[in-house]
């Protein structure tokens, strides 16, 4: 995305103020920039300017600086922290939300992050270290630990007063109500707090129908629950039911978006990794495995073709030209079927009890597409054989039938494999997005060739 007008108006003054070391002007200007707009401005600076900008921010306004650090893409913020000195990094990170600081530090090696942690404010350091104990991609890592809660004995008026005295809560959508030992017992919205008499105890109007996740809940599960119940904030409890944090909707949206990207990348046999460190060798390495699978399938197909054609060469030379179309169509039809299933499973549209129904439906689609394109190819091949004079009369019909039938069977088989494989992998608890489509295209290279030559041997030479 190019700089829009608002961003473009800021970039040049930022550079000028940096050059002239006019820091008060610089900070005044930056205070008016929304975090969401900062990324484009940051990208417009040279590397040297980026570093000096954040050095100034770390000393003069680390809170503002931390908002910008957090809004950079994950790999961008890691890269920035690597290039800054430890002192500046510590100042910026200690002003981030603790979960954001932990997320950035987790992208560094222990050797890189330890000296920064040591320089951070002891309280922030302790919280960040506590978050880093939870396994990656769990609610524990995703949550904000400073969650605002009130005791169940408080009245509406007392709860409002408590809220007013706490100035540094990041966002407060809901008020959580806890008992003596910090067990989560209820929840109420700010609006409910305002619309009840000040002397009424919160316990009387709080909702006790709680949806919670645990610190070890997988982050995709957290996102699924938050999306399902439209929760702006999802409370996180420990194994004793004590309130330890809250996952907010903005982090949920990041997880959902990340997940969609991951699925799309995997479908093409490449990976999420490609986005994080996009060096050419790294990209080549992540893409090579699927290509190797395609290579293997193709090589086996070449052995099969060669094996058959050396014995049958004379009669089948005209037919072999149709092998690529048979393999290509099988791969395409199988991929379509696999992707419909994979996305159906991911969005919950294909449900556990309905696997067989979904499979039957897909088989119906397979049969119609196979018959349709098979017939089309019979006609096409027959015409081609006649025009070229490679076969005539009943020979031409028989050969055209072999070609069309091979296509139809390949497509049906591919569609059925494409549908069944994701369902099977899902049953086994394996994410079908990882390996379904490469497997389908590769196996169809081999199976399609075998189908073609088996039919040819049977119907023409048999």
**Using CB under 8 A, which residues numbered 340 to 359 contact its own copies?**
340, 343-344, 347-349, 351-353
Q: Considering only residues 119, 256, 450, 460, which one is a binding residue for its own copies as defined by CB under 8 A?
A: 256
Query: By CB under 8 A, is residue 270 in contact with its own copies?
Result: yes
Contact 54, 81 (CB under 8 A): no
Strands across the sheet with 213-214, in order? Answer: 213-214, 233-237, 243-248
Strand partners, 183: 242
**Using CB under 8 A, which residues numbered 140 to 179 contact its own copies?**
160, 163-164, 167, 172-173
Q: Which is nearer to its own copies, 114 or 299 (CB)?
A: 299
Q: Considering only residues 180, 281, 394, 428, which one is a binding residue for its own copies as defined by CB under 8 A?
A: 281
Query: By CB under 8 A, is residue 368 in contact with its own copies?
Result: yes
Q: Which is nearer to its own copies, 110 or 387 (CB)?
A: 387
Query: By CB under 8 A, is residue 401 in contact with its own copies?
Result: no
Binding residues for its own copies, how many (CB under 8 A)?
108
Query: By CB under 8 A, is residue 43 in contact with its own copies?
Result: yes
**Using CB under 8 A, which residues numbered 199 to 238 contact its own copies?**
209, 211, 227-230, 232
Query: By CB under 8 A, is residue 397 in contact with its own copies?
Result: no
Q: Which is nearer to its own copies, 67 or 125 (CB)?
A: 67
Query: By CB under 8 A, is residue 417 in contact with its own copies?
Result: no
Query: By CB under 8 A, is residue 379 in contact with its own copies?
Result: no
Rounded distance, CA 20 to CA 179, Å?
56
CB of 283 to its own copies, least distance (A): 5
CB of 89 to its own copies, least distance (A): 24
Build a one-symbol-per-residue string for 287-326: x at contacts with its own copies by CB under 8 A, - elsewhere.
xx-xx--xx-xxx-xxx-xx--xx--x---xx-xxxxxxx
Query: By CB under 8 A, is residue 328 in contact with its own copies?
Result: yes
Query: By CB under 8 A, is residue 255 in contact with its own copies?
Result: no
CB of 292 to its own copies, least distance (A): 8
Q: Which is nearer to its own copies, 16 or 388 (CB)?
A: 388
Read off φ and ψ for residue 72, nearest 5 degrees. Answer: -70, 160
CB of 85 to its own copies, least distance (A): 28
Query: By CB under 8 A, is residue 45 in contact with its own copies?
Result: no
Query: By CB under 8 A, is residue 339 in contact with its own copies?
Result: yes
CB of 51 to its own copies, least distance (A): 21
Q: Which stretch binds its own copies (CB under 8 A): 20-28, 96-104, 281-289, 394-402?
A: 281-289
**Using CB under 8 A, which residues numbered 59 to 78 contact its own copies?**
73
**Using CB under 8 A, which residues numbered 106 to 145 contact its own copies?**
none
For residue 425, give both structure tokens: 């992998």
Q: Which is nearer to its own copies, 239 or 352 (CB)?
A: 352
Q: Which is nearer to its own copies, 121 or 228 (CB)?
A: 228
H, E, C per residue of the chain: CCCCHHHHHHHHHHHHHHHCCCHHHHHHHHHCCCHHHHHHHHHCCCHHHHHHHHHHHHHHCHHHHHHHHHHCCHHHHHHHHHHCCHHHHHHHHHCCCHHHHHHHHCCCCHHHHHHHHHHCCHHHHHHHHHHHHCCCCEHHHHCECCCCEEECCCEHHHHHHHHHHCCCCCCCCEEEEECCCCEEEEEEEHHHHHCCCCCCEHHHHCECCCCCEECCCEHHHHHHHHHHCCCCEEEEECCCCEEEEEEEHHHHHHHHHHHHHHHHHHHCCCCCHHHHCCCHHHHHHHHHHHHHHHHHHHHHHHHHHHHHHHHHHHHHHHHHCCHHHHHHHHHHHHHHHHHHHHHHHHCCCCCHHHHHHHHHHHHHHHHHHHHHHHHHHHHHHHHHHHHHCCCCHHHHHHHHHHHHHHHHHHHHHHHHHHHHHHHHHHHCCCCHHHHHHHHHHHHHHHHHHHHHHHHHHHHHHC
Q: Which is nearer to its own copies, 109 or 310 (CB)?
A: 310
Q: Which is nearer to its own copies, 340 or 455 (CB)?
A: 340
CB of 50 to its own copies, least distance (A): 16
Rounded distance, CA 365 to CA 371, Å?
10
């Amino acid at each position: 995305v190019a700089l829009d007008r608002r961003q473009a108006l800021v970039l040049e003054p930022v550079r000028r103020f940096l050059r002239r070391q006019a820091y008060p002007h610089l900070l005044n200007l930056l205070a008016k920039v929304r975090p969401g707009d900062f990324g484009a401005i940051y990208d417009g600076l040279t590397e040297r300017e980026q570093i000096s900008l954040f050095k100034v921010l770390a000393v003069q306004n680390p809170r503002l600086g931390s908002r910008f650090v957090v809004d950079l893409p994950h790999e961008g913020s890691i890269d920035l922290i690597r290039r800054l000195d430890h002192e500046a990094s510590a100042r910026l990170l200690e002003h981030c939300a603790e979960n954001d600081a932990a997320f950035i530090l987790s992208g560094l090696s222990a050797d890189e992050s330890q000296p920064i942690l040591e320089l951070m404010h002891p309280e922030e350091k302790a919280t960040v270290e506590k978050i880093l104990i939870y396994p990656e991609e769990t609610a524990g890592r995703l949550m904000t630990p400073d969650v605002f809660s009130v005791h169940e004995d408080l009245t509406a008026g007392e709860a409002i007063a408590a809220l007013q005295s706490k100035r540094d809560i990041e966002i407060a959508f809901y008020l959580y109500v806890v008992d003596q030992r910090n067990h989560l017992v209820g929840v109420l919205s700010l609006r409910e707090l305002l619309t009840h008499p000040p002397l009424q105890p919160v316990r009387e109007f709080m909702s006790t129908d709680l949806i919670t996740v645990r610190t070890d809940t997988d982050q995709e599960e957290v996102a699924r629950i938050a999306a399902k119940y439209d929760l702006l904030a999802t409370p996180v409890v420990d194994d004793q039911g004590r309130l330890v944090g809250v996952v907010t909707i903005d982090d949920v949206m990041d997880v959902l978006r990340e997940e969609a990207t991951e699925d799309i990348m995997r479908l093409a046999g490449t990976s999420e990794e490609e986005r994080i460190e996009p060096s050419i060798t790294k990209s080549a390495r992540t893409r090579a495995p699927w290509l190797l699978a395609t290579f293997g399938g193709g090589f086996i197909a070449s052995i099969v073709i060669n094996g058959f054609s050396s014995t049958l060469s004379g009669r089948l030379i005209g037919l072999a030209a149709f092998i690529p179309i048979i393999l290509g169509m099988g791969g395409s039809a199988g991929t379509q079927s696999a992707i419909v299933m994979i996305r159906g499973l991911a969005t919950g549209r294909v449900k556990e009890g309905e696997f067989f129904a979904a499979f039957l439906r897909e088989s119906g689609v397979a049969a119609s597409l196979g018959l349709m394109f098979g017939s089309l190819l019979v006609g096409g091949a027959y015409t081609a054989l006649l025009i070229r004079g490679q076969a005539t009369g009943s020979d031409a019909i028989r050969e055209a039938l072999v070609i069309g039938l091979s296509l139809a069977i390949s497509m049906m088989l591919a569609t059925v494999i494409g549908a069944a494989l994701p369902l099977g992998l899902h049953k086994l608890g394996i994410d079908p997005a990882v390996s379904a489509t490469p497997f389908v295209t590769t196996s169809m290279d081999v199976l399609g060739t075998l189908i073609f030559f088996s039919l040819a041997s049977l119907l023409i030479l048999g």
